[in-house]
Amino acid sequence: MADVTLSDIRKSYGAVKTIHGVDLDIKNGEFVVLVGPSGCGKSTLLRMIAGLETITGGTLNIGDRVVNDLDPKDRDIAMVFQSYALYPHMTVATNMGFSLEHRGASKAEITERVNWAAGILGLGNLLDRYPRQLSGGQRQRVAMGRAIVRNPQVFLFDEPLSNLDAKLRVVMRGEIKALHQKLKTTTIYVTHDQVEAMTMADRIVVLNGGRVEQIGAPLDLYDRPANQFVAGFIGSPSMNFIEGKITEAGFQTSGVVLPLPKSINTAMGQAAVYGIRPEHFRLSDHPGHAGVPAEIVLIEPMGPETQVTMKLGGNQVTGVFRERINSAPGEVMHVSPEVGSIHLFSEDGDTRLN
Amino acid sequence: MAVAQENARPEGRSSSPFWTIARRDSLAGFLFIAPQLIGIVVFVLIPLGLVFWYSLHEWNVLANTFTYTGAQNYRMLMEDENLLEVLGATAIFSAGLVIFNLSLALLLAVLLNQKLAGIAVFRTLFFSPVVVSLVAWTIVWGFLLQKNGGINGMLLTFGIEGPNWLREETTAMISVIVVQVFKNVGLNMILFLAALQGVPKELYEAARIDGAPAFKQFRRITLPLISPTILLTSIITIVGSLQVFAQIAVLTQGGPGLSTTVLVYYLYQQAFQFHFFGYGSTLSILLFAIVAILTFAQWQMRKRIVFYES
Amino acid sequence: MRADISPRTKVALYGVMCVLLIPFVFPTWWMVTSSLKPISDIFAFPPQLVPQSYDWTTYSKVFELQPFVQQYWNSAYIAAVVTVGTMIISSMAGYAFARIRFPYANAVFMIVLLGLLIPSEVTIVPLFQMFLKAGMVNTHWPLILVPIFGAPSVFATFVMRQFFVTLPAELEEAARVDGLGRFKIFTRIALPLAKPALASVAIFTFLHSWNLFLEPIVFLSSAEMFTLPQALTQYTDAYGGPMWNIQLAAATLTALPVLIVFVIAQKQFVEGLAHTGLKG
């Protein structure tokens, strides 16, 4: 187990820069998730940590060693790939023991380690099978088994759940998390799925265009996103953004005025972006009382909650309500934003204003 | 980058700075291809250079003379009256072979693509001549095509008197083409069959819903979708047809007259029977030029006839 | 193409295929049966589809007239060495072209592909001179070295490259993380997975070497060095006319073993060829 430290890590292919100086301190035993849209550089960053991509600039430490120029095998890491990358011509046991074999472990030692890992992952009765004879979830477990057998300092996961169906994904999410709690090995996990990031991470790193947008605990990112990108990326359905102007009366936008939070560090009359999560709209029981009129566009009942697409003045937004909505599209209801949960961003979206 | 690493590098690092991962991989790459590359240089490129060099010389093996004569061999090539006949025979042979081979291969592949019981047995039998020794196959056909051989014997039982196949100009050419096609059509058949099986079933279902009749489905869906394979097999078959030697040597020795003397056979005669190595080399250059031009032309056609690239 | 075929169409299809089969199957049948007939019967009219009487002495003459066992061995061992050699050379080169990034890779690949453009017939004159200078004429070296290293192996390299290109990159990355270097990745991961491509390379190469005709007659001059294709044409009478029954017996001995191996392993044969990556 070890700390992983990235200092000003850069990557370019010729003149094309893809990673623009990433700094990140990962503490021993931490579960860090790199998340971002496709093409944000998260996989490249992970592969640079693994040693599968060269590092163009900066320093990468694993433990107290600089590993920039080391082969993957010398970095003491293990990786779980998106496609699992199980060797099709080897049994589960051989797959799992393969790395030990190439580190000069004795046969007895390999058997012992493989059996230990198989025990943890419930693979005991599958050891003689070939990968093609396994289900998706079983392959996933074998891939993890292959990673844990040699007790590396760092686990790297590259979108390991993206090939599974939705149900199995939830199950395996839990298993990976449980495994981490048992082994307490430093883990770096890449995903494009913010739900995975929220549920699994100790800390989330949000990447966009090869830059770090924000680093923080899942709920910190949810509660106080540093900019419009993070605000839009974390949370599902995603946050509504309304463009307008900050005035004494409130947030002035086309057709309506929305309530503003108390502490705002910007001048009156400033153009800004008003962010509100769908779950932070409240139904106003008394029309004309406190709410804003919202014309219903679409109602999608989910069971526990109801998702409503509606128009606040000229702005189409989404709201999620615990209540059941008995109105029809075209009708007008009244909603009010929770003032304490409002996010204000600068016009360009780069900075948070409250 | 280098400076930062030098400063941060603790003692006992396992990799030296020069042998980076990329450099080691490049070295591995060169080592992996080295045997092949050296082989190509020694057994293909140097001989190709030599053949050009030889073609500029008058070379009498028996008198052991080797004299530089510049373009004289090439002038001889232009004035060689036999050569026109040889090139004509080569063209007829190659064109006949490619057309007959590809159409038969496609027909067989379409038949074998039907869902019929025991189709694998037919596939095996159609393919079997490919694995029969080439000269053995040619000898049997030579035997069958004798004036009093099996084929004429069969014809005679129906009251037809067959020609002396290998001794008449037209039938000799037809014979060598047919013998070669039946020998090797199995290869193209298998490639076409694989291509046909790669055409998504949904396309045919969609076409049937659209009401397209079978022949139209074949012309509008099957042919365009397997066009890459058609192009590839036609290149392989044409270039292969220019190398056909054993069949000619065994069946007709280029005769009657020069009617089946294809370029390779003429080259062999000039160089190894008449010992005109210089002129033989000039013919080699001609053969090389024809292969190169044909391959290039077909590669260019790719853009026009291939509708779909997998 | 169609889900259901009517019984009438089925009968028609079987009929067409059976007729088409005749030129593919009958020559082999005719070769075997004629080789067993006495010389007086082989041109008999009407043709005997099944021998009326048998003459086995033809087969002993095959061995009396030429060192046929030696010639058989020559062909077999040359084909075996060429096949194994080509598999090694072409899988290594094909792997490097498909999976290793190294400088000038494309230029080198183009040079190697030139081998496809230059059939060995083009270079036969200088090759003869080169082997003459090296004292290798009337030895088997030209028949071994040229196919393994020269133009014929380029096709094999191309087939192997097409296969290795399709190998998932993550498998190799997993192997690197597991501690394997390039050579071990090649031998432990890539090669075992390349069995179908290797099989088709082996088949092509074996048949190519087994059928070689121009090269043997150019390079070999003594009967005990001959290979089978060349030997078959040497069963001639004093006037140079073929001794048909003996030729056919020798041809049968040449063709049948390969044919039997093919029938036993035909599934791998045919499917191997279909998987050469030649599909386009």
Cβ within 8 Å, pair B15-A57: no
Predicted confidence at residue C272, as pLDDT, reads 67
Predicted confidence at residue C238, as pLDDT, reads 75
* Same domain, residue pair A228 and A136: yes
Residues of chain A in contact with residue C184, where contact means CB-CB under 8 angstroms, are 102
* Same domain, residue pair A204 and A334: no
Q: Measured between alpha carbons, how far is A46 from C96 in angstroms, rounded to an integer?
A: 26
Domain C65-274: top CATH class: mainly alpha
Residue B78 — very low, low, confident or very high, per pLDDT cuts 50/70/90?
confident
Distance from CA of B17 to the nearest CA of A (A): 8
Query: Which CATH number covers residue A322?
Result: 2.40.50.140
How many contacts, defined by CB atoms under 8 Å, are there between A and B? 33
pLDDT score of B19 more than 80 = no
Domain membership flag for residue A352? no
* Residue B82 structure tokens: 């036999």
- The distance in angstroms from the start CA to the end CA of chain C is 21
pLDDT digits (tens, 9 = 90+) for B249-286: 998 988 788 889 999 999 999 988 888 888 889 999 99
Q: Is the ipTM, as predicted for this complex, more than 0.90?
A: no
* Residue A294 structure tokens: 């919202």
Q: Best mutation site among A79, A84, A146 for testing chain C: the one with the most C CBs within 10 Å?
A: A79
pLDDT digits (tens, 9 = 90+) for C102-140: 888 888 998 888 887 787 888 888 999 999 999 999 999
Q: Tell me which chain B residue has its CA closest to the CA of residue A7.
A: B4
Residue A345 — very low, low, confident or very high, per pLDDT cuts 50/70/90?
very high
Interval B21-29 mean pLDDT: 83
What is the SS3 assignment for A55?
A: coil
* Same domain, residue pair A207 and A248: no
Task: Let me know: does A142 contact A81? Beta carbons within 8 Å.
Answer: no
The vertex-C240 CA angle with C235 and C242, nearest 5°, equals 45
pLDDT digits (tens, 9 = 90+) for A139-173: 999 999 999 998 899 999 999 998 888 888 899 99
pLDDT score of B72 more than 60 = yes
Predicted confidence at residue C252, as pLDDT, reads 92
Predicted confidence at residue A286, as pLDDT, reads 63
Last residue of a domain, one of A233, A252, A270: A233
Residue A180 CA to its chain's centroid (Å): 17
Domain span at residue A111 reads 4-233
Where chain C has pLDDT below 70, the residues are: 1-4, 271-280
Residue B17 — very low, low, confident or very high, per pLDDT cuts 50/70/90?
low
Cβ within 8 Å, pair A85-C192: no
Tell me the DSSP string of chain B: -HHHHHHHPPS--SS-SSS-HHHHHHHHHHHHHHHHHHHHIIIIIHHHHHHHHHHTEEEETTTTEEEE-TTHHHHHHHH-HHHHHHHHHHHHHHHHHHHHHHHHHHHHHHHHTS--TTHHHHHHHHHGGGGS-HHHHHHHHHHHTSTTSHHHHHHHHTT-----GGGSHHHHHHHHHHHHHHHHHHHHHHHHHHHHHTS-HHHHHHHHHTT--HHHHIIIIIHHHTHHHHHHHHHHHHHHHTT--HHHHHHTTT-STTTT--HHHHHHIIIIIS-BHHHHHHHHHHHHHHHHHHHHHHHHHHHHH-----
* Same domain, residue pair A10 and A123: yes
Predicted confidence at residue B261, as pLDDT, reads 93
pLDDT digits (tens, 9 = 90+) for C150-180: 888 898 998 899 889 988 999 999 999 988 8
* Same domain, residue pair A71 and A103: yes
Q: Measured between alpha carbons, how far is B247 from B264 in angstroms, rounded to an integer?
A: 12
Predicted confidence at residue A289, as pLDDT, reads 58
Residue B5 is nearest to which of A65, A68, A74, comparing CB atoms? A68
Whose CA is closest to B270, among B279, B258, B257, B261? B279
Distance from CA of A68 to the nearest CA of B (A): 8
Q: Measured between alpha carbons, how far is C154 from B45 in angstroms, rounded to an integer?
A: 13
Structural domain count, chain A: 2
Q: Tell me which chain A residue has its CA closest to the CA of residue C192.
A: A89
Of C162 and B88, more confident:
B88
Domain membership flag for residue A109? yes
* Same domain, residue pair A296 and A204: no
Domain membership flag for residue A351? no
Cβ within 8 Å, pair B139-C95: no
Interval A338-354 mean pLDDT: 89
Q: Measured between alpha carbons, how far is A332 from A296 in angstroms, rounded to an integer?
A: 6
Residues of chain B in contact with residue A66, where contact means CB-CB under 8 angstroms, are 5, 8-10, 13
Cα–Cα distances in angstroms (integers) from residue C119 to residues A93, B49, C146, in the given order: 48, 14, 11
B21 touches chain A (CB under 8 A): yes
Cβ within 8 Å, pair B45-C114: yes
Domain B76-305: top CATH class: mainly alpha
Q: Best mutation site among A47, A62, A73, A150 for testing chain C: the one with the most C CBs within 10 Å?
A: A73
Cβ within 8 Å, pair A77-C177: yes
Task: Find residue A238's DSSP bridge partners.
Answer: none
B14 touches chain A (CB under 8 A): yes
Cβ within 8 Å, pair C177-A102: no
Residue ranges of A 51-110 with Cβ closer than 8 A to chain C: 51-52, 71-73, 77-79, 81-83, 85-89, 98-99, 102-103
Distance from CA of A313 to the nearest CA of B (A): 47
The pTM is what? 0.84
* Same domain, residue pair A202 and A318: no
Per the document, the length of chain B is 310
Last residue of a domain, one of A233, A268, A294: A233
Residue A59 is nearest to which of B4, B13, B15, comparing CB atoms? B4
| Domain spans in chain B, listed from the N-terminal domain onward | 76-305
Predicted confidence at residue C2, as pLDDT, reads 47
Residue B201 — very low, low, confident or very high, per pLDDT cuts 50/70/90?
confident
| Domain spans in chain C, listed from the N-terminal domain onward | 7-55, 65-274
pLDDT digits (tens, 9 = 90+) for B93-132: 999 999 999 999 999 999 998 888 888 889 889 999 998 9
Q: Best mutation site among B21, B38, B43, B274 for testing chain C: the one with the most C CBs within 10 Å?
A: B43
Per the document, the length of chain C is 280
Cβ within 8 Å, pair C119-B134: no
Predicted confidence at residue B18, as pLDDT, reads 72
Predicted confidence at residue B10, as pLDDT, reads 41
Residue A66 is nearest to which of B5, B20, B21, comparing CB atoms? B5
Q: Measured between alpha carbons, how far is C255 from B237 in angstroms, rounded to an integer?
A: 23
Predicted confidence at residue B309, as pLDDT, reads 47
Tell me the pLDDT of chain A averaged across its residues. Answer: 90
Predicted confidence at residue C276, as pLDDT, reads 57
Query: Which CATH number covers residue A42?
Result: 3.40.50.300
Residues of chain B in contact with residue A56, where contact means CB-CB under 8 angstroms, are 1
C277 touches chain B (CB under 8 A): no
Interval A103-109 mean pLDDT: 88
Cβ within 8 Å, pair C174-A79: yes
Which chains have at least 3 CB atom pairs separated by less than 8 Å from chain B? A, C
Residues of chain B in contact with residue C2, where contact means CB-CB under 8 angstroms, are 204, 214
Residues of chain C in contact with residue A83, where contact means CB-CB under 8 angstroms, are 168, 170
Residue A72 is nearest to which of C170, C171, C177, comparing CB atoms? C177
pLDDT score of B304 more than 70 = no
Residues of chain A in contact with residue B14, where contact means CB-CB under 8 angstroms, are 70, 74
A140 touches chain C (CB under 8 A): no
C110 touches chain B (CB under 8 A): no
Q: Measured between alpha carbons, how far is C115 from C110 in angstroms, rounded to an integer?
A: 9
Contacts by residues A212-220 (CB-CB < 8 Å, ≥ 24 positions apart)? A212/A22, A212/A23, A212/A24, A213/A36, A215/A24
Q: Measured between alpha carbons, how far is C118 from B291 in angstroms, rounded to an integer?
A: 8
pLDDT digits (tens, 9 = 90+) for A188-239: 999 999 999 999 999 999 999 999 999 999 999 999 999 999 999 998 889 9
Cβ within 8 Å, pair A79-C189: no
